[in-house]
Structure formats: C-alpha cells, structure tokens
Amino acid sequence: MISKRYNIKNWTRQNLREWFKKNEKNHSSLKSFRADQVFNWLYQKRAESFDQMLNIGQGTREMLEDHFYISSLKVADNLKSRDGSIKFRILLDDGNSIESVFLPHKNHNTICVSSQAGCAMGCDFCMTAKMGLIRNLDPSEIINQIFTVVKELPEEKKIRNIVFMGMGEPFHNYNNLMQALEILTDEHGFNYSHRRITVSTSGLLPKIRRFGLEKIKANLAVSLNGVTDEVRTKLMPVNKAYNLEKLIKVCSEFPLESRKRITFEYILIRDLTDSLQDAKSLIRLLHGLKFKINLIPYNSTPGGKYNAPSPEQSRMFQKYLLDHQIIAPLRISKGQDIQGACGQLVVGNIQ
Ligand code: SAH
Ligand code: SF4
C-alpha cells in the first residue's frame, strides 16, 4: 500500500493511459486500453468503487485501489424555487461549499456550475464577488458537481446544457477547467457534446485567445454589462486591464465554427445600463461580430447598491435590439425567490 493515493477523477484518459503504460513493465496484464474501460466505469456506469469494475482483472483492480481513490461530493442542502429551478449547496472535502443550479426548461434543462469557491474578480453587482476567492475547484470537483446534481434529479430530467455561470471566473482556473472539459467531452467519459457547454468569462483576454485555440470547441460567453469604459470599469474592475476596445478586438479574432456565435451577457441596471442610447451603443460596439446578446435584468442582492430596471424598460431595450435584427433573449430570471439567480450565488459569511 503506497502512502498517498491520487484522486482518479483528476486524471484525463490520456494521463491514465500513460500511467498504465508505465506500469505495464511490471504488470504485464495492464494495457493502455484499460484506461478506456476505467473511464467507462467511472463516467458512464458511475462506479463508486474499483470492485465494481468487473471486466477488469482482480490484480489490476487491487493495483488501482492502491494508487487511486474515487471521489464524490455530497449535497449539503437544496432550495426549490416556485419556477422549478433548484439550487444545490454542495459540500467540498475541506468544509467549503459551492453552489450549482438546476434550471428546467420545456425541453432543454440546464445546469449552471461553479468553477471556483468564491471569485477574485470583484464585480460590483455580484454577490459571489463579496466572498472573495476562497480557492479553485479541481477537475474532479467540477465534474462531481454535475454527477451530484444529476443523481438528485428524477430520471426524466436530463441535462442538456452545461453552463459555467455559477460561482467563480472559469478562466481564472483555466487548466482545471480544460481538464474537466476534456473528461466531460471524452467519448469514453461523460461523452457530452462540446456544443452544449458554455463557458462564461468576465473578459480575461489572454485566456479567451487560448480558449479559441483549444481542440474542445465549447461555446464562449462574455459578460459585457457596460457599453462605455467608464460604466464597465465601474461595474467590473477587469475592464481596467482589458478595456472594451481590446475586448472587442479579441472577440473579433475568436475562431468560431460555423453556426456558432459569441454570447454577450448584458445586465440591465436601472438608470445605468438600460437606456435606449445604451442599446444603440451596444449595437455599434458589436458591429461586425457574430453574436447574440443575453439580456439579464439586474437581480437585486441584499445590500446591493443598484436597482432592477422596470419590466417595461427591459422590454423596450430588447425591442430596440430585435428591431435591428439582433438575437436578444431577455432572460426571465429563474430562481429569484431562492437567491439562485445570476449573481446571487453566495455561501458563508460576507464581510
Ligand atoms: N464569472 C463568470 C461567470 C459567472 S457570473 C462571468 O462573470 O462571466 C454569470 C453571469 O451572471 C455574468 O454574466 C454576470 O454578469 C451575471 N451576474 C452577476 N451578478 C448579477 C446580478 N446581480 N444580476 C444579474 N446578473 C448578474
Ligand atoms: Fe466573478 Fe463573474 Fe461575479 Fe464577476 S460576475 S465577480 S467574474 S462570478
């Protein structure tokens, strides 16, 4: 028995193959295709112990057991909204917790997942920002969130979309995010289509560039929220380092596969971002890009200094965009009554 065992869900199939290859010399029964089988057991059959992996010889199973363990997470509690969305608080091994939200739609359920416990980006309108960054999630924690939520749902509530719009800035935890995406999209793993995964960023430009070059072509969403540097910097400190001009340039160079477009998230805040002049500037700013805009009426948060727009103003703003042939769904905020809507995810005490 070796002293430290590895969390096997932090390993990609390629990592595991290499491990099997390296160990092959001493254990002739271990072949790299074992990695495919192990992946199948872990992610398709959701095995919780190596003993369950019946088509793998006992010797190999024992060796796996000596070197690895299979992690899982537990739901600490959940809150059900009147609109059917459910916010799960999930306990991490070190006592911290994160939140994931199940968002039902008629025929395409979505899970909104966290990439970090807390967030370091300090956006002025966001509850998660008030926690500061506690820590990055490792790949297994990102994946286990989804497992844990799916396990709690009735069979028919299949997840169609995975969106990284929960707690944290995914590109601040880039390597772990990419490793999780590799496992999620692996045909022997979760076998999830990259088309159904969206990563939302506040605009870390070097990482947007790098993301564009990855072989996993997940969708990109960018939190825009302001149409002038003045307003955007007030709302999102990241704009000081990466202003609108630089952001738009990087977005215009982002390689899009056919059919795809960048999603820009735009919060409507009363008297700050919700005027028709802002709508006009928004169109001018994004001119030439292939995009859609998700309009999110500001969700007021306890102690928050901003106000939600009136429903009429939100609709007028949307109509202006629609009249200019822009795809602009107005996100009817789900889970408001359970503080499970955008920017309301927060765990623990806020100073
Ligand atoms: N950190 C990433 C992803 C998580 S935030 C990002 O910022 O893109 C997900 C979305 O929620 C972002 O578009 C953000 O602008 C929005 N959001 C945060 N707080 C909000 C609030 N109080 N009301 C409405 N939307 C909010
Ligand atoms: Fe972090 Fe996104 Fe909230 Fe900004 S909006 S503080 S980046 S979670």
CATH number at residue 44: 1.10.150.530
* Per-residue DSSP letter, 119: -
End position of a domain, from candidates 69, 102, 124: 69
Tell me if 343 is assigned to some domain: no
Whether residue 213 sits in one domain with residue 226: yes
Positions of the chain with pLDDT lower than 70, given as ranges = 1-3, 24-30, 258-259, 332-351
How do residues 242-272 score in pLDDT, each as one tens digit?
999 999 999 999 999 766 899 999 999 999 9
Task: Report the SS3 class of residue 71.
Answer: coil
| 235 CB within 6 A, ligand 1 | no
Same domain, yes or no, for 65 and 137? Answer: no
Q: Is residue 309 part of a domain?
A: yes
Largest CA distance in the chain: 71
Q: Is residue 12 part of a domain?
A: yes
Last residue of a domain, one of 52, 69, 86: 69
123 is catalytic: no
The domain of 50 spans 6-69
Residues 151 and 207 in one domain: yes
Would residue 350 count as lying in a domain? no
Q: Has 342 been annotated as catalytic?
A: yes
- Residue 24 and residue 94 share a domain: no
pTM comes to 0.94
CA 277 – CA 14 distance, rounded (Å): 51
Do 55 and 130 fall into the same domain?
A: no
Do 53 and 110 fall within a single domain? Answer: no
Domain total for the chain?
A: 2
Q: Is the CB of 298 under 6 A from ligand 1?
A: yes
32 φ, ψ to 5°? -65, -25
The CB density around residue 233, as the number of other CB atoms within 10 Å, is 16
* Cα-based angle 50, 56, 57 (whole degrees, multiple of 5): 105
Identify the helix (H) or strand (E) that includes residue 3: none
Residues with CB under 6 A from ligand 2: 119, 121, 123, 126, 128-129, 168-169, 202, 223
**Token pair of 323, please?**
């009249």
Q: What CATH number has the domain bearing residue 131?
A: 3.20.20.70
**In a 3-state reduction of DSSP, which class is residue 79?**
strand
Length in residues, the chain: 351
**Measured between alpha carbons, how far apart are the two ends of the chain, in Å?**
45
pLDDT on residue 5: 94
The Cα 37–Cα 51 span in angstroms is 13
35 and 95 belong to one structural domain: no
What pLDDT does 350 receive? 34
User: For residue 49, what are the contacts with CB-CB under 8 A and spacing of at least 6?
Assistant: 70
**Whether residue 185 sits in one domain with residue 52:** no
Residue 141, SS3 per DSSP: helix
Q: Could you tell me if 183 and 326 lie in one domain?
A: yes
Ligand 1 atom with the smallest distance to the CA of 265 is 13
Q: Cβ distance 65 to 205 under 8 Å?
A: no
The verdict on residue 1 lying in a domain is: no
Q: Find the 331 Cα to ligand 2 centroid distance in Å.
A: 18
List the residue whose alpha carbon is closest to atom 3 of ligand 2: 126
Which pLDDT belongs to residue 155? 74
Residues 6+ apart with CB under 8 A from 290: 256, 260, 261, 262
99 CB near ligand 1 (under 6 Å)? no
| Pick from 158, 145, 181: nearest CA to 12 | 181
The angle, 0 to 180 degrees and rounded to 10, between the axes of the packed helices 244-252 and 276-286 is 50
Considering the domain architecture, whether residues 63 and 94 belong to the same structural domain is answered as: no
Residues 52 and 84 in one domain: no
How far, in Å, from the CA of 123 to the mean position of ligand 2?
6
